[in-house]
Structure 1
Amino acid sequence: MDSILTINNLTKKFGSLTAVNNLSFTINKGNVYGILGPNGSGKSTTLGIVLNVVNKTEGNFHWFDGNITTHDALKKVGAIIERPNFYPYMTAEQNLKLVCKIKGVNESKIDEKLEIVGLLDRKESKFKTYSLGMKQRLAIASALLNDPEILILDEPTNGLDPQGIHQIREIIKQIAAQGTTILLASHLLDEVEKVCSHVVVLRKGVKLYSGRVDEMISSHGFFELRCDNQNTLIQLLENNSKFGKIKIEDQLVTAFLNEPMKSDDLNKLLFENNIILTHLVQRKESLEEQFLKLTDNQKN
C-alpha cells in the first residue's frame, strides 16, 4: 500500500514538558485517519511538526516515498490547522483567487471546490457575512484548490452547532470517497467513530493505540437485561463461559460477551431455564468504552 506519511520515534519537548513522546505511525493512501486524544495530548503539535511549522526535538518523518523534500511534499498537501483567515470585506471567490495566486494554481478550480463544500451559490457573498460553519467550509475549499493527495484538518468541527458539525462530516466523507487521504485531529470520539477508518489514540504525547477503528471496537459487545428473578439470571450468566464481566446497576444487568451470540439464542437459553426477560438489548462496545479502557490503563 502506498505510504503518504511515515513518522518514526518523533519527540517534541517544550522545556521540561514532553508534548510528543517517541511517536511512530504510518498514514497509507486512501484512508481516513483520526488522531484522537483529549486536549493537551500532542495532536496539534504532531501536525505542526509534519507541516514544518513546529521543530521536532528527536526522531524523524518523511512524506511519500522519502525521496522528496518536505517543502516539495507540502505542495501535495492541503491543511487547515488554525481558524480560517480570510479577508472579511472580500467575497469567497475573491479570497480563493488570492489563495490560487499564492499557491500558484489555476483559478478554474474555484467553482468545483466551492461546489464540494456547498458554497457555490454564496461565492459572491463577503466573507464577513458567513456563519462559522460556512467559514470552515470555505477553508476546506481553499485547502482543496491544489488537488492535494492528503487533506489535514485540526479539530474541523470545533465550535460548530450540530448542523455545522454534520455538514463538515459529510463533506469529509465525500472528499474521502473521491480518493483523497484525510488526517484529522479530534478530541471527539463520536467524530472519529463516524468519519475515520483508522485511529491513532494519544494521551500526554504517548501513543496508546494505532489501527483500524472497526478492529478497536471489534469486541463481541454486550447484552442489557432485566427480569423479575435477577439472582437466577446472574447465576446462570456467571456459570456460562460465553459471558465475561457481569455488571449490575439497579435492575439492569449488563452481560459482556466472550464470543459472538445472537439475542434470539440468549432468549431461548434463558426461557429454557425459566427466566422470562422484561428487557433485552444487544449492543456493540463503543469506541468511547474502548478509549476509556485504554486511558484508564495508562498511569497519570
Structure 2
Amino acid sequence: MESILTINNLTKKFGNLTAVNNLSFTIKKGNVYGILGPNGSGKSTTLGIVLNVVNKTSGDFNWFSGNTSTHDALKKVGAIIERPNFYPYMTAEQNLKLVCKIKGVNESKVDEKLDIVGLLERKTSKFKTYSLGMKQRLAIASALLNDPEILILDEPTNGLDPQGIHQIREIIKQIAAQGTTILLASHLLDEVEKVCSHVVVLRKGVKLYSGRVDEMISSYGFFELKCNNQELLLTTLKNSDLFTSIKANDDLVTAFLKAPMPSDAFNKFLFDKGIILTHLVQRKESLEEQFLQLTDNIKN
C-alpha cells in the first residue's frame, strides 16, 4: 500500500521543552489516522511540522514515498489546523470561490464540496450567520476544493455541541469512504474510536502506541463479578491461569481474560469450585481503558 506520509525520528524543541520526541510513524493511503493525546502531547506541533509551518529540530519526514518535494506534495494536501477564518460579510459560496482563485482551482468545485458538507442550501448565506459547526463544515469544504489525497484536521470537533460533533464525524466517514486518506489530531478517545482505523498515541511528545485501533482494543475483555463469598472468589481467580490480572473494588471483582472464554463456561468453572455468582457481566475493554493502561505505564 502506498505511503502518503512517513515521519522518521522527528523531534521539536522549544527551548528546554521537548514538544515532539523522536517520533516515527507511517501513514498509508486510504486509511483514517488519529493522533491521540491530551493537550500538550505534541499533536498540533507534529501537524505543523509536516505542513511546513513549524520548523523541526531534528529528524525528517517525506510525502508520497519520498518521490515529491514538500512544496509540491502540499498541493495534494487539504488541511485545517486553526479556527475557520473566512470573510464574515461574504457568503459561503463567495468565500469558497475566493479560495479557488488562491489555490488555482476551478470554481465548478464549489457546489460539489458544499454538498459534501451539507451546506449547499445555505451557500448564499453570509459566513457571519453560520453556527460554529457550520463554520467548521465550510472549512472542510474549503480544504477539499483541490481534491486532496490526504485531509489533515486538527481537533475538528473542538467546541461543538453533540449535533455538530455527530455531523463532522459523519462527514469524515463519508470523505474517507471515497478513498481520501485522513489524518486528524484529537484528545477525544471517543472520536478516534468511532472514526479512525489507525491511531498514534502521544504523551508529552513521546509515542506510546502506533497501529490499528481494532488491534489496540483486541484484548479478550474481562468479567465483572459479585458473589456472597468474595474471599473464596478472589483466591480461586488468583490461583487460576485464565487471567492476566484481578482487581477488587468494594464488592465488585474484575477479572481480565488471558484468552477467549464464554460467560457460560466461566460461570460453570466457578460453580464447580463452589462459587455461586450474584452478578456476572462480560465486557470488552474500550479504547479509553487501553489508553489509560498505556499512560499509567509511563512515568510523569
Per the TM alignment, residue 262 of structure 1 is displaced from its structure 2 partner at its CA by 0.9
Partner of 1:232 in structure 2?
Answer: 232
Partner of 2:184 in structure 1?
Answer: 184
Moved more, 47-56 or 8-17: 8-17
* Distance in 2 (alpha carbons) for counterparts of 1:240 and 1:55: 54
In structure 2, stretches of 5+ residues that fail to align are: none
Describe the SS at the equivalent of 1:207: strand
Q: Which one-letter code corresponds to 1:55 in the other structure?
A: N
Partner of 1:57 in structure 2?
Answer: 57
Equivalenced residue count is 300
* Distance in 2 (alpha carbons) for counterparts of 1:174 and 1:227: 47
1:220 corresponds to 2:215: no
* Distance in 2 (alpha carbons) for counterparts of 1:277 and 1:166: 40
Moved more, 191-200 or 73-82: 191-200
Partner of 1:256 in structure 2?
Answer: 256
* Distance in 2 (alpha carbons) for counterparts of 1:199 and 1:108: 35
* Distance in 2 (alpha carbons) for counterparts of 1:161 and 1:278: 40
Q: Which one-letter code corresponds to 2:27 in the other structure?
A: I
Partner of 2:138 in structure 1?
Answer: 138
Percent of aligned pairs sharing the same letter: 86
Describe the SS at the equivalent of 1:291: helix
TM-score by length of 1: 0.97
Per the TM alignment, residue 202 of structure 1 is displaced from its structure 2 partner at its CA by 1.0
1:34 corresponds to 2:34: yes
Q: Which one-letter code corresponds to 1:113 in the other structure?
A: K
Partner of 1:194 in structure 2?
Answer: 194
| Alignment map for 1:13-24 (pairs within 5 Å) | 13-24=13-24
Q: Which one-letter code corresponds to 1:270 in the other structure?
A: L
* Distance in 1 (alpha carbons) for counterparts of 2:142 and 2:278: 55
Describe the SS at the equivalent of 2:190: helix
Q: Which one-letter code corresponds to 1:220 in the other structure?
A: Y
Q: RMSD across aligned C-alpha pairs, in angstroms?
A: 1.2
Partner of 2:106 in structure 1?
Answer: 106
Describe the SS at the equivalent of 1:292: helix
Partner of 1:157 in structure 2?
Answer: 157
* Distance in 2 (alpha carbons) for counterparts of 1:153 and 1:110: 20
Per the TM alignment, residue 228 of structure 1 is displaced from its structure 2 partner at its CA by 2.2
Per the TM alignment, residue 193 of structure 1 is displaced from its structure 2 partner at its CA by 1.1
* Distance in 2 (alpha carbons) for counterparts of 1:242 and 1:297: 23
Per the TM alignment, residue 219 of structure 1 is displaced from its structure 2 partner at its CA by 1.2
Describe the SS at the equivalent of 1:83: coil
Per the TM alignment, residue 273 of structure 1 is displaced from its structure 2 partner at its CA by 3.5
* Distance in 1 (alpha carbons) for counterparts of 2:174 and 2:279: 39
TM-score by length of 2: 0.97
Partner of 1:174 in structure 2?
Answer: 174
Describe the SS at the equivalent of 1:107: coil
* Distance in 2 (alpha carbons) for counterparts of 1:277 and 1:167: 43
Q: Which one-letter code corresponds to 1:120 in the other structure?
A: L
In structure 1, stretches of 5+ residues that fail to align are: none
Describe the SS at the equivalent of 2:224: strand
Partner of 1:45 in structure 2?
Answer: 45
Per the TM alignment, residue 238 of structure 1 is displaced from its structure 2 partner at its CA by 1.9
CA distances 1:69-109 after superposition (whole Å, capped 9, x unpaired): 11110010000000000011111111111111111111111
